[in-house]
Amino acid sequence: MQAQHLSWGGLAVFMAIVAACALLPFTPLPDFYIQQAFRILFFAGLAQSWNILGGYTGYLSLGHSSFVGIGGYTIGCLFFAFHWSPFLTFPLAGVSAAMLALIIGLICFRIRGSYFLIATMLVLFIMQTLANNLPSVTNGADGIDLPLFTSNFTLEGRIWFYIGLALVVLTTLVAFFIERSRLGLNLMAIREDEDVARTMGVKVVHCKAIAFVVSAALAGLLGAAYTYRAHVIEPSTAFSVEMSAAPIMMAILGGSRNWIGPLIGAVIYDVVSNILLLTVGNEASDMLFAVFLICVVLLLPDGIIGIVNRFRTKNVLPEPPSGVTPPIRSDSALHPV
């Protein structure tokens, strides 16, 4: 019950931070910082969407950029072929990404571990190849230019800031309620031991498919926003390994077993990378940042949230007397979905 109160308290704090962030465009901050804030919001949402599958289920995927790219190409191709407004076709980005995830899941969910990781990475390269070699649909390597909202760059920056903020709220609420649902318990059981979860009655493939489709749909929406904000989409940037690796690092940095972790990880990731870029230059910053991430993975396997949870457990939950078995929580039972 105490953990439940803390969880709802964390959501209340998150919503309070969102309300405070909503006032940023009305402060004297330069336009550059508002535009940079959209990038942070995009990656926070992307890390949160990846965490629904990778964190809760333990199925690491290097192909998350496939859903970002297919979401961007959905609005881009419809504009290229029919001149439909990307603003109106925005919801279709999530649908197309969800359909791609369903196809990938039917093929790849029979494999585990590093094999699943390699399979999702191959999907990424296949999507990039298709985008390059279907010029009648994707305009090939030349990419697709998308229209501006308005010629007022200050106003456009504010519009995209609020869109990014709304997508972060959406992805976070989805992750929060999944984590607290029967589906979330089943996903975590799969992460701990898939075979045991199956023997306990968990519909493993069914649960993984739901997580994968939801994760992909959110990534597709984020990809559409990122593409429309950039006003151009190309195969090399839409389906990039860097775009797939970044949310993984953010989730691990903050803590991939909790809905708060990816948000914290995204902010730290972006702030540290930008500070290094401004202080030591591009090449040196990449090397130092890689060393920083390696140290985090080795020294903080559970991320920042792991440290907070251990500290909280030590101070809030005393050790039971020797010879006394602690009670089993009633919500730890597995529930078939």
Q: Does a structural domain hold residue 322?
A: no
How far apart, in Å, are the Cα atoms of 261 and each of 177, 208, 230, 267?
15, 21, 27, 10
User: 213 or 111: which carries more pLDDT confidence?
Assistant: 213
User: 320 or 212: which carries more pLDDT confidence?
Assistant: 212
Q: What is the pLDDT of residue 315?
A: 62
In this structure, is the dihedral angle defined by the CA atoms of residues 296, 300, 304 and 307, taken in order, positive or negative? Answer: negative
Q: Does a structural domain hold residue 337?
A: no
With a cut of 90, say whether residue 318 has pLDDT above it: no
- SS3 of the chain: CHHHHHHHHHHHHHHHHHHHHCCHHHCCCCHHHHHHHHHHHHHHHHHHHHHHHHCCCCCCCCCHHHHHHHHHHHHHHHHHHHCCCHHHHHHHHHHHHHHHHHHHHHHHCCCCHHHHHHHHHHHHHHHHHHHHHCHHHHCHHHCEECCCCCCCHHHHHHHHHHHHHHHHHHHHHHHHHHHCCHHHHHHHHHHHCHHHHHHCCCCHHHHHHHHHHHHHHHHHHHHHHHHHHHCEECHHHHCCHHHHHHHHHHHHHHCCCCCCHHHHHHHHHHHHHHHHHHHHCHHHHHHHHHHHHHHHHHHCCCHHHHHHHHHHHHHHCCCCCCCCCCCCCHHHCCCCC
Q: Does a structural domain hold residue 335?
A: no
Q: What is the pLDDT of residue 111?
A: 79
**Candidate ranges 23-32, 92-101, 287-296; pick with highest mean pLDDT:** 92-101
Q: Does a structural domain hold residue 321?
A: no
User: 312-317 long-range CB contacts below 8 Å, 24 or more apart?
Assistant: 312/6, 316/2
Q: What is the pLDDT of residue 113?
A: 73
User: 181 or 331: which carries more pLDDT confidence?
Assistant: 181
Q: What is the mean pLDDT of residues 160-176?
A: 96
Q: What mean pLDDT is reported for the chain?
A: 86
Residue 321 pLDDT grade (very low, low, confident, very high; cuts 50, 70, 90): low
With a cut of 60, say whether residue 333 has pLDDT above it: no
Q: What is the mean pLDDT of residues 110-139?
A: 89
With a cut of 70, say whether residue 336 has pLDDT above it: no
70-84, 172-186, 216-230, 265-279, range with the lowest pLDDT = 265-279
Q: Give the integer Cα–Cα distance in Å for 49 and 251.
A: 10
User: 130 or 309: which carries more pLDDT confidence?
Assistant: 130
Q: What is the mean pLDDT of residues 20-48?
A: 92
Residue 124 pLDDT grade (very low, low, confident, very high; cuts 50, 70, 90): very high
Q: Does a structural domain hold residue 156?
A: yes
Q: Does a structural domain hold residue 38?
A: yes
Percent of the chain with pLDDT over 90: 54
Q: What is the pLDDT of residue 224?
A: 96
With a cut of 60, say whether residue 238 has pLDDT above it: yes
Q: What is the pLDDT of residue 330?
A: 42
Q: What is the pLDDT of residue 128?
A: 93
Q: What is the pLDDT of residue 316?
A: 55
Count of structural domains, the chain: 1
User: 293 or 99: which carries more pLDDT confidence?
Assistant: 99
Q: What is the pLDDT of residue 281?
A: 72
Q: What is the pLDDT of residue 132?
A: 94
| Owning domain of residue 277 | 2-316
With a cut of 90, say whether residue 285 has pLDDT above it: no
With a cut of 70, say whether residue 307 has pLDDT above it: yes
Q: What is the pLDDT of residue 107?
A: 83
With a cut of 90, say whether residue 258 has pLDDT above it: no
With a cut of 80, say whether residue 5 has pLDDT above it: no
Q: What is the mean pLDDT of residues 64-89?
A: 93
In this structure, is the dihedral angle defined by the CA atoms of residues 38, 18, 47 and 93, taken in order, positive or negative? Answer: negative
Q: Give the integer Cα–Cα distance in Å for 89 and 71.
A: 10
